[in-house]
Each structure stands twice: as structure tokens, then as C-alpha cells.
Structure 1
């Protein structure tokens, strides 16, 4: 449970935005209340701040345009340039410590806190609007106009027409333009919004009236890279060093007023863009420069704006949130590391937007060249809606896009993020690796795959934001680890020098970080035990002195040896040759109660019985075992657990009866009462050993479980299991 108070929020996001927040502690909507902020080092701080908006979309469907999600590479690059980067969510109007979204047009407008006001955003120098999927009220449009008039900059990031990610019949091209593509009467919204019907004129609409440009309603594909990059002398220097930019289903723009707006990147004569396969009409109207710029800028009085018709070349493949409708994992395009990335362009744009300049227009004075008016700024196809005012899909059963209480766990604005609070709608949707791997093996793992990696901390990376992990044996092999905010104090060498040269185990997703091989989306970091796992011991060199820990699987060669298996993956085993003075105490043939006990062995890596082994054993220590019984009164029965409240720690003993939810859980019943059952949710490292689906031998055996009482699959359960012990 996170307790958010006025002081904390003011420090995180500025006193003006949360000035009236009082101390709260509520069960729902607490899980994600700490607003992400990324800060540069004191020596590199340029004094400027960039807000990334999520108050009007940007996280619906597969979109995840947050600074610690699919825009994290962009945000990190800005931090390297000295910017402070913050996520903007809205205003906590009712002082409950959470910013809630309600649709203004469904009777809950007075409660909607996902709003934009000038006072709330004026502390920033640049405001990034990424795939905004909800229309602005007239007061919000006025706030953005006031922001520009104050000499600030806005970056409008759109996508192809009909990228209606929240299924409300609006996409970013329409929201930014200030009107829907349809002219149906229902889009004359009235009230706080006014008339949003298609004006069927390139000169009408909020965007063109303020910035001299509009987004087209097209859908174009050209992953080879849009190559008509205008020379930097024409583009205020923004295109310096910019290469062709990929378009993975995007839109272009139409310049209407060449003194207000001008293009930076166009289709060249040699480019061969095509209709995006899911486009609602021809998708590509004119081709070439006549299609309008893919990237553009505008000068509107004291302020500035920039525009791009696709988020793909800016985003990265590290989404933070789950889908709001299904709870499934999002998939985002790895554009930031793609050959057609917009990394240089995006940073150059922010630098230009963040720099106040006194000239008012592109009027060919003092090097501020005017733009090129798009010949047909509104094609005939753009004057009507091929969807006839319908959303691009149907919401999933039970999901209401306007009611955050229906959002699935771990999605943005969902009530809960800790899956122990609510039943997990999609347990472990991605494969879990079988065991801990070396840095060298991680480097050979495909990007996007989950990994659990052991290595030595050797350096800080990107200031406080990451670390370098080197292989324990092949020291030349290294990988960068991007740390989440809660992990930096303990594991970043700049903040905690004591972590240098420590061995740690990192659980996360294989990806790139800081332009190098990396691990991102880190869910767990812990100090590695001194002892190697069996899997790691198998990779050590013959003749090397090692310490290895595993589970006793069986006796070997009578009383003379034993087989040790990896605690996380029974496929890895190693033979341990016992010295004569060790056999009476440690031979499983003489001591069958040792089976399944955890054993730590010090010796020399060798072979035994023609298999990988450890000889010259100098020390053995054991914990647990197949017949270890609890102290009297220390365990609870299943019936007793059923009477406990959720959230209580428990140690329960019962009989394994069947698998639950495939490999992810098991059912435990009382020894003498088949009616009392509880579900045990297995952690990934426990499934090979204890899942009845993967190991049918456990059915009928007594099991001790240590964890937290909580429901699973709408049934009484135990979750967050820290220890499992077979008792027979």
C-alpha cells in the first residue's frame, strides 16, 4: 500500500499541480500513484522541463507512451541532454491522492480529473502530446493556446487515421485537427466542446487556425525510411544529422499557411510508399511531396509546435502497462533502435521547441525561411468518414472504456496493479526462463525474451539510471541493466558504491539500453548467493574450486555419492562424490530423509561416474528434507486458513490433489477433509518441481506452503509463496 501525501506529490510533480492534495491511503488506485520523473545530474541540468501527457490517451490499446514505458528511450535521451522529464496525468480535484478519468460526455464531467489547464502545465518548457485519443474541450484548447503564447513548445505525435485505440471513434489526427472526419450530427458535441463535425475545408479547424497545418486522414506504410529530408538551413537546423525516417503505418500533414508551418521530412521522388494494409480508403492520396510532410514545425507568435505522423520511429519495445481491456501484454514497435529511427530528429525537435525565440513567423527574414504549401491540403476522400462514425472495434465483454473500475490489473488508471489484490486475468502471459543464465548466455538471447541473469556489478550506466553487469567467468562479456526508480538507491553504483563487484541476479526483459545490449523492464534484483546453482556449476571449469547449492535428488553408487539437482530446473544435475567420513551423515541411501533437502557443497569441479561432478568435497551443509516435520502448533490446516483474512501470512499443510490453471497453481486439501481446499499460486521458479501438470508425482503428497492468504482464480488461495516443502 502506498500512502501519498501533499508534500510527496508536490515534490514529485510541482506544488502548483497538487497544491490541495491531502494525506490519503486507499485500497484502490494507490498502486501507481507515484508520478514518474526523470532528472539529469546536477552538473548536466539545463534547467528545462518536458512534460509527456497521458491525460487524454497515449496508453489505450497497445499504446504505452509513458516515460518509463514505450517512450523511455526518448525520455532517457532527453535526460542525457540535461532535461527534467515528467509524466503529466491531470489534476487531483477531489484531493483523494489519485487522478481519475471519467468521460466528460457521459454525465461525469464534473468528476473528470484527466484534464489540461494552463496553470497545471506552465511549469514545463515543452508539452508532448502522444496519440491523444480524447477530444479537447474548448477550455483545454484555450490552455494550449495560452501555453504557446507564453513562448512554450508543443510536440504533436499522431498516427495513421482510425488509430482509435480507446474505441470512442476519435484518433489523434482528429483530436489534434479539432474535428472528427465524420460530419454526422452526433459530432456537434455542444457544451464544453462545441461543434466537432468535419468542416470539409482545409482552412477550418483548431490546428490549422492556430498553426497553419492539419493532419491528413491517410494511412501510409514505408518502413524503408521517408528520405526527403529538407536541408538544415531550411528547417531551423533541426534536420542536421537526420537520416531517412521509417513510417510503420502513419499519416502525413498538409501545410496550409507557409508562414506559420513548414515541412521537415517528405516522401522523395525515389521513395515508394504504399497504402497501409488496414487503411480505410486509398490510404495514399497523392504520393511524393504532394502527400504533405511526414514531419513538420510551426511558429505561432511567441511559441512553437512540431508534428510527426507516426509514433513508431520514436517509441521503444519496453511497454510498462498491460492492456486496459484484456490485461494482456502490450507489443510496441522497437523504433528507437530501428535503422529508420527518429532519435536524432526527436531530440533536435525538443531542443528547438524548448528554445524561446522572438520572431513570430517563417517570413524569410533572418534565415527563417517560409514553408511549402501542400497543393491539395484536403483531399476529396478526407471530407467524409468511411467508418460512418463507428469505432474501429468493439470493447471486450465487461470492459467499459469510460469506467476505470473495469480496467484490468496493471493497466494505466486501473484500480489495482498488484495481482495479489485481484484475480490475475492473464497469469504469466510470457514464457518464464527455466533458470538463471550467465551474461554471455543473455547476450545470445533474442530481444523481447524474459531472462534471469547472474553477473558482477562493474559500473554505473547513464548516471543513476542503470548499471553494467559483467559475466562471472568471461569478464569481457557485459550487458547494461536499466534500473526502475525503486531499484536505484540499492543497486546503482553511483548512489550505492558498495554494490560494485557484488554478484546480483536480475530478472527482466532482454532488450537494448543506451545503444548497447541490455536488460529492461526489471521486475526483481537480488544479491546472488555465494554458492553457484547446479546449472552454473556445470558451466564452471574442470579443476576449479566451487561452492554449489541444489536439491538432493537420489543416492548414487550405493553409499558413495549422491545426485544434486538444480533447485529451479530439475533438468540440470551434478554428481557429488562423498568422502568416507561424510557418508554416514550425507548418503541418501543411509539417510532417506535427506531426499529433497537443500545441500551446499564445497569441492573441486570434476567428473564422477563419467558424468559432471564434484570431488575432493571439503564441506557439506544441509537444510530441509522430505520428512522434516514442523514444530507442534506452527502450521495451519486448510480449514484454519479458510477462516483467515486476506493479506495474512500463513504456513499451511495439506495434500496436493490436482493442478489448477494449467502449470500455474495447485489445489491443496486438508488431510482428513476433502471439502476444504485452497489454491496455491506457484511462482515461476516453483512450477517445474511442484506443478501437478508438470510433475504428476507430487499428487497425493503432503506439502507445507508459506505465503500470504489471498484469493486466486476467484477461490480461497495462498499467493506470494516464499517456500514449499514436500513432507512425504
Structure 2
């Protein structure tokens, strides 16, 4: 074999090794990226139970227990793809179970626990991606308002759920609509930071009057497409783009123009964080809860209800 032939064989061997090695690198890179994506994707969702969410006939927690505790029981590590919503018994248990099935973790902020941001506590809001507050029936303190608003301002996601005017379940003079409006209009950070005001009314209707765009991931997200929303005695909202230029209505009353009032679901950004607001707790209600509470299966009443809440949850978590 002459020298040229030997050199040709060596060159071909190097090229073959190089190509095989590149293939291995591509495979390994794909595996690494997938693993990394899985590692960074899980988000932490905190459901509030500090504002009388279980007063009266309410049960707006993921796990009722005797007194809702930080970690729902049985442990969420036992949830599989086939786990049913009554794995936990709380009005929001189906929502919590669904989030865990998507790979996330859920916790409750128990009654008596301070709402803080930037502190050292284990349940300080800085430790979570999304804070869900359903029907708060006790006014937030000045410090709590500051914590919630700054949590959003610095990147957190806030899910605001109100209910109809007069739904004061603990008879302290403040229902959830008034509580939310008090937070937005009476705080030390910024007046109406999210540009949303809850209307003090009560409506019941099913609407298909939604934003027509297909690029909005709250209405058209990974969990499906939202086509309807049903209020069973809920409060509408108005938005103010002067207060917050990013606020927008997503779903309106069926007979309304798509303007700044008669809104049933809205979203906004504030700072680097995000906000979603719905004026009725019924669509999130899965019908399970503490003994003696009368609850209704709004979560499954319309397929769009679970889709809306899950798409919104993922949007708030920046997924």
C-alpha cells in the first residue's frame, strides 16, 4: 500500500469518528436540554387560606382538612396520571391535583400565617411562582397589600378570584369584591396597579363573548381552547388602561361590546409579574369540600372552566 493510500485511510477514519461523535453530541445535547427543561419547568403554586376562604358555605382551598395546612394530605407525591380530583377534598382540589399532574407543586398558606414578601419565612411569597387567592373575605393589611403588589412587580403571578356583591361570608362588612378593590385603591405602592376594578354587582350567565385572537395563551393554551365561561352569581369587572396600559379584557358578558366594562375575565402585567382576574369562584369549584358545605361541580360543568384556570395558571407561571 503506497503512502497516499495510507493517508487516505487515516483521513477517512478521522472523518467517520468525527461524524459519529457529532451524532453522539447531538443526542447527548438533546437529552441534556430535555432534562434541563424538566428541571426548570416545575413551578410552585401557593393557595391562600388566610382570608376566611372557608367561612360559611365557602371551601376555597385545595385540601379542606380540619384546618387547611401547608402541605395537603395525602402527599402530592402519590398523585399519578389516573388520580381523581377527590384525592383531596376542598373546593379547589381538582385544580390542585391538575397542577401536580402537570409536574408542579402546590401548597396552602394556612390561616394565621403572615402574607410577606422579601422576608425569611418558609412561606414568604418570594419562594413561590404563583399566588392564588380565591374569595378573600377579610381585608388585607397595609403590609400585606405591599407584599402582594411587590411580589407581582418583581416577577410573581397573582390569580385574583372574586365573587358577587354581598357575598360576605364572615359578616365583617367586606366581601371579596370589596376586599380586592380595597387592595387596589388603598395601598402604599401604587393606586390601581393592575388597572382592574371589581364591579359591585351580581350576574348569572354563560357567555361565548371572548377575545377573538388565537395567540392569547390564556384563551388558547397548552391545555386547550376556552370557548365559554359561566358565572353563577359573580361580579363583572372594569379595566383602566390609564392606570395600567397592559390590562385587557379576555371574556365579556354575552351582550356586551368588547370594551372596558362588563368583563368577566381579565389579565394584566405589572413590573415583571402577571395578573389574571375572574369575578366568580363557581367555575373553579369542583364540588368537594368539608362536610356540611354545599358545593357545586363548576370545574366540570363546562370543559372550558378547567382549561381557562389551567392555561391562566401556566401563563402566570411564565410557562
CA shift digits 1:53-87 (9 cap, x unpaired): 00112111111111121101111111111110111
Q: Is 2:312 aligned against 1:353?
A: no
Q: 1:231-256, CA deviations, whole angstroms, 9 ceiling, x for partnerless residues?
A: 3446x321011121111000111011
Q: Which whole-Å deviations, capped at 9, do the CAs of 1:178-216 have from their partners, x for residues lacking one?
A: 17xxxxxxxxxxxxxxxxxxxxxxx95458621111111
The answer to whether the aligner puts 1:216 opposite 2:199 as a matched pair is yes
> Quick one: which of 161, 164, 167 aligns to 1:160?
164
Task: Tell me if 1:60 matches 2:55.
Answer: yes
- 2:143 and 2:240 map into 1 onto residues whose CA distance is 25
> Higher helix proportion, which one?
2
Structure 1 Cα separation of the partners of residues 303 and 204 of structure 2? 13
Residues 217-237 of structure 1: per-residue CA shift (max 9 Å, x gap): 010011xx2211113446x32
Report how far residue 264 of structure 1 moved: 0.8
- Listed as ranges, the gaps of 5+ residues in structure 1 are 1-42, 91-112, 180-202, 270-286, 323-328, 357-728
In structure 1, the partner of 2:264 is: 294
Match status 1:131 vs 2:115: no
- Give the Cα–Cα distance (whole angstroms) in 1 for the partners of residues 132 and 145 of structure 2: 15
SS of 1:336's equivalent? helix
3-state SS of paired residue (1:209): coil
| Counterpart check, 1:77 vs 2:98 | yes
8 A contact 2:249–2:258 mirrored in 1: no
Q: Secondary structure at the match of 1:74?
A: helix
Q: How does 1:29-428 map onto structure 2 within 5 Å? A: 46-68=41-63, 69-89=90-110, 113-118=112-117, 119=119, 120-178=124-182, 204-206=185-187, 209-222=192-205, 225-233=206-214, 236-240=216-220, 241-257=225-241, 259-269=245-255, 289=258, 291-319=261-289, 321-322=290-291, 329-339=292-302, 341-355=304-318
Q: TM-score, normalised by structure 2?
A: 0.71
Secondary structure at the aligned position of 2:284 is classed as coil
d(CA) in 2 for partners of 1:63, 1:143: 25
Query: TM-score normalised to the size of structure 1?
Result: 0.32
- For residues 493-512 of structure 1, what are the structure 2 equivalents within 5 Å? none
Q: Please show how residues 265-664 of structure 1 align to structure 2 within 5 Å.
A: 265-269=251-255, 289=258, 291-319=261-289, 321-322=290-291, 329-339=292-302, 341-355=304-318
Partners of 1:208 and 1:157 in 2: CA distance = 19
Q: Cα distance, 1:115 vs. partner?
A: 2.6
SS in 2 for 1:178: helix
The CA distance in 1 between the partners of 2:246 and 2:195, in whole Å, is 5
Aligned residues: 242
The separation in 1 between residues aligned to 2:269 and 2:41, in whole angstroms, is 23
| Higher relative contact order, chain-length normalized (CA < 8 Å, sep 6+) | 2
The DSSP-based 3-state class of the residue aligned with 1:122 is helix
Give the distance between the partners of 2:262 and 2:101, measured in 1 at CA. Answer: 33
Question: Is the partner of 1:230 in helix, strand or coil?
Answer: coil
Per the TM alignment, residue 341 of structure 1 is displaced from its structure 2 partner at its CA by 4.6
SS at match of 2:283: coil
Once the two structures are superposed, what CA deviation does each residue of 1:252-275 show, in whole Å capped at 9, x if it has no partner? 110112613101111233xxxxxx
Q: Deviations over 1:303-336 (max 9, x none)?
A: 11110000111111111x24xxxxxx00112101
Contact 2:154 2:273 in 1 (8 A): yes
The CA RMSD measured in Å over matched residues stands at 2.2
Higher CA-based Rg:
1
Q: Distance in 2 between matches of 1:339 and 1:176?
A: 26
